[in-house]
Structure 1
Amino acid sequence: MNESLYKYHRQKLEQLMAEIGCKNLEELSQLSGLSSWQLQRVRHGLIAKLSSESLVKLANGLQLPVSDLLAHFQIPTIGTEDRSGELKILEQEYQNLQQKLDKQKEELAAEFQSQSIEAIESWLVQWPTAEAVARKNPDLAAVKILSLVKPIMQLLERWGVQPIDSVGDHVSYDPQIHQLIDGQAAIGTPVLVRYRGYRHGEKLLYRARVSLIKVEMPEIQPVETENVTA
C-alpha cells in the first residue's frame, strides 16, 4: 500500500481512538473484541476486508454508527468506485446484528433478574412480615438492620418488581392476587394480609398470603326476669 494511504488510515484510527480516550490498540482490542491482527489491518486500510460482525464490533468499540466509521476511512483521493450498494448491504447487516445484540442483551438482563428474584424468594416473602414485627417492637435488635435492606428493595423496584398489598392491611379478597392461608372466602370478603405478594412487570410472582378476619361476637348476657306474684 502507498505510504501516504497507510499514514492516513493510521492517523484516522488514532484520531477516533483519542476521541474516546483510548490509548493504544490493546485497549481498543478489549473495547471492540477484535484481535490486534484485525486492528492492524484497519490501520493498513483494509477495513473493508472485515466481516460485517467485526465492523459492528469496531464501531461499538469506537462509539460510532457503522456508517460513520466507514465514512471516516474512505480514501479521499480514491473515490471512483461506486460502493453505495455495498454500504447499503453493510448497513442492513449492521442493523440486523444490532437488533440481535439488543435482544440478547434484554434477554440476558431479564434472565438475570428472574434468577436473582428466584434465589431470594424465601427472603422476599418473609422479610416484610419480619420488618412489620420489628417496627412494632423498636427494642428488638433486628430493627437496627432495617435501613440496610432499603437498597435491595430499591433495586427490585428499578427492575419492575412491585409489591401486592402490605403486611397488616385489611383488603378485599381477590383470588387472582391473594392466597388464603386457611379456610375459604368469597370474592370481596375482608381479609388480613400476613405476607406480601409481588409482581414482576406483568408477571405475577407470588400471591399475597392472607387470612380471614375473625369477628369477635359480643357475648349475649341472659336477661334476668322478675317473678311477679299476684
Structure 2
Amino acid sequence: MIEQINNIAFAVILVIIIYIILRILFSETQKNTLTNHQPITSTNTEQKIKDLELQCQRLREELKQQSQQLKTDFQNETFTQLQTLLSNYPTIKKMALTKPDLPAKNLVSLFTSLDNLIINWGYTAIGEIWEQVNYNPQLHQADSDDIQEGELVYIRFIGYQNGEQVLYPAKVSRTLPAGFDHNN
C-alpha cells in the first residue's frame, strides 16, 4: 500500500516538474521575444534545467523520508494497539504447551487488543463462527469445489472486509467440526 502511494506521489511530482519546466521555458521565450526580441540563451535554459533537476532530487528525498515516516508511524501505532497481546503471547503459548487441559476461555480476554485493532481500522467481519449462510463465492472460500452458490454452508473461519473490499474471505463448509453444535 505504501509503495503504491509512493509511486502515485512520484508520478504526480514528475508531472508537476514537467509542467513547471514547460511553463518556465514558454514564459521566458515569450518574455524575451516581447521585450528584447532575443531568444533565450542556452546558458539560461541549462541553468533552469539544473535547478529543476536539483529540485526534483530534493523532492525525491523528501518523498523517501515521508515514506519511511509513514511506515514507522504505522508500525508504532499497530504495536501500541497490539502491545497487550504481544506481551502476553509468549506466556499464553507456554501455558498452552505445558497445560494442554487449560480451558481456552481463560485466554479469550487476552485477545481484546486484537478486537480493538480490527474495530479501529474499520474492518468488519464476514459472518460469525458456525453461522449458517448461503454460499457466496465473492465473500466465502469453500472447502470443497462442488459447493454451489446459494447452498447452505457453515462459516468455519470468519473473513474480513473493508467497506465493499473483501480482504480475506470467510472459510465455509457444509458441516461443522465433529463434536461442535452451532447452537452453542
TM over 0.5: no
TM-score (ref. length: structure 1): 0.33
User: Counting helix residues as a fraction of each chain, which structure ranks higher?
Assistant: 2
The structure, 1 or 2, with the larger RCO (C-alpha pairs under 8 Å, 6+ apart) is 2
TM-score (ref. length: structure 2): 0.40
- Select the structure of larger CA radius of gyration: 1
